Amino acid sequence: MTGINEFATMLGFTPAWFALGVVDHTLLARQRAEWDKGEDENTEHYRYRAFREFLASQDQLTPELATALFELGANDPDPAMGGSIMADIVRLPKCPPNVLDAAVASGRQHLIRIVQSRKAEPGDARERR
């Protein structure tokens, strides 16, 4: 493997990951060091770790960023990992109503269950419409 851009492509990071600020060259350098250890060749694990690190670094997500991150998961080539990203966004206390609607419309049962369980919670995002 030659360059960092080829490495990013091999891990499955699309331009959207960079545009949203989830991935940068510093993160890729750390992930390259992990990859080079040869202990984990599951590229979806690297994408999910990048997402979780980014999410943890955000004090607040704008509705636009929450929507974009949800779509990042929806478009991931690994449906299970992408579904995990989507679920993490849907579970956020301030998940925007449009994302909750998109979760239901996705037809993914785990997301539908999360949204249904949120409806029973006081202060559900849908009540703020």
Give residue-wise pLDDT tens across range 96-125: 999 999 999 999 999 999 999 998 776 555
Predicted TM-score (pTM) of the model is 0.89
On whether both 88 and 121 belong to a single domain, the answer is yes
Domain that holds residue 26: 1-57
Q: Which domain-ending residue is among 57, 75, 102?
A: 57
In this predicted structure, the answer to whether residue 39 has a pLDDT above a threshold of 90 is yes
Identify the DSSP state of 33: H
Q: What is the pLDDT of residue 119?
A: 84
Q: What is the pLDDT of residue 78?
A: 97
Q: Which domain-ending residue is among 38, 57, 76?
A: 57
On whether both 123 and 68 belong to a single domain, the answer is yes
The total domain count for the chain is 2
On whether both 73 and 125 belong to a single domain, the answer is yes
Q: What is the pLDDT of residue 50?
A: 98
On whether both 74 and 123 belong to a single domain, the answer is yes
CA 43 to chain CA centroid, Å, is 14
On whether both 18 and 78 belong to a single domain, the answer is no
**Are the CB atoms for 125 and 94 separated by under 8 Å?**
yes
Q: Which domain-ending residue is among 57, 77, 96?
A: 57
In this predicted structure, the answer to whether residue 127 has a pLDDT above a threshold of 50 is no
On whether both 73 and 110 belong to a single domain, the answer is yes
On whether both 51 and 78 belong to a single domain, the answer is no
- The band of 129, judged by pLDDT with boundaries at 50, 70 and 90, is very low
The closest of 84, 89, 98, 83 to 128, measured between CA atoms, is 98
Give residue-wise pLDDT tens across range 52-96: 999 999 988 999 999 999 999 999 999 999 999 999 999 999 999
In this predicted structure, the answer to whether residue 20 has a pLDDT above a threshold of 70 is yes
On whether both 91 and 119 belong to a single domain, the answer is yes
